[in-house]
Amino acid sequence: MKRCSIGDRISKVGIVIAVIMVLAMGSWTVGQAVMTKDFQADKATFTKYLLATARAARTVYVKAVMRKAKEAGMRPSEAWVKEDHALMLPAQFIKALGKEIPEYELGLIGTDPLYEANAPRTQKEREMLARLASGKEKMVTFQDGMQFKGMAADFAITQGCADCHNRHPRSRRHDWKKGDFMGAIIVRMRG
């Protein structure tokens, strides 16, 4: 009867361990990839919900609060804090909401912003703005370095949007018109 030497046994055990390790590492890598994909999909859905909620809040502010307040003789003004009978602008309303939320950043971003704070911060944000401007998509979500972000397109739905931006002393662009793509509501998750 042929007996395995100790050396043979050790090398067989070694092979078995190596095979188990390769299988374990393989399944861990596949699992990790699936999890990352699911996680990314979840983040995208979640970010879209946040954008939809922010947009809805602004719509209610414009359609209900501002309209009623205008009937009562109030008017929207950027310097609403200092003025009597003045209301914050819709853009200021979104930014004010954002200030109340420490968990993530909510704000506005513009192609030709009145303020530098509303300019794209990264190359990826610039690219995504251009994608929204093409009109094919109304919302985009994307990974940008360590942060996950989402944007919902903002168009000059009335001539009033265009007029105020054209007249604003800080405006570098004076030919806005109704229907133009102006920018987006943006959500930036903390990294």
Residues that bind ligand HEC (CB under 6 A): 76, 78, 89-92, 95, 108, 110, 113-115, 118, 154, 156-158, 160-161, 164-165, 168, 182-183
Number of other residues whose CB lies within 10 A of the CB of residue 29 = 10
> Is the CB of 3 or the CB of 116 nearer to ligand HEC?
116
**Residue 162 Cβ vs ligand HEC, minimum distance, rounded to whole Å:** 8
Q: How far is the CB of 103 from ligand HEC (least distance, A)?
A: 21
Q: Residue 80 or 142: which CB sits closer to ligand HEC?
A: 80
Q: What span, in angstroms and rounded, lies between the C-alpha atoms of 108 and 56?
A: 15
Find the shortest distance in angstroms from Cβ 104 to ligand HEC. 18
Question: Strand pairing partners for 181?
Answer: 155
CB of 131 to ligand HEC, least distance (A): 16
Dihedral-angle region of residue 135 (phi above 0 means left; psi in -120 to 50 means alpha; beta otherwise): left
- In the bound state with ligand HEC, the residue whose beta carbon lies nearer, of 15 and 64, is 64
Residue closer to ligand HEC, measured from CB, 164 or 189: 164
* 8 Å CB contact between 106 and 50: yes
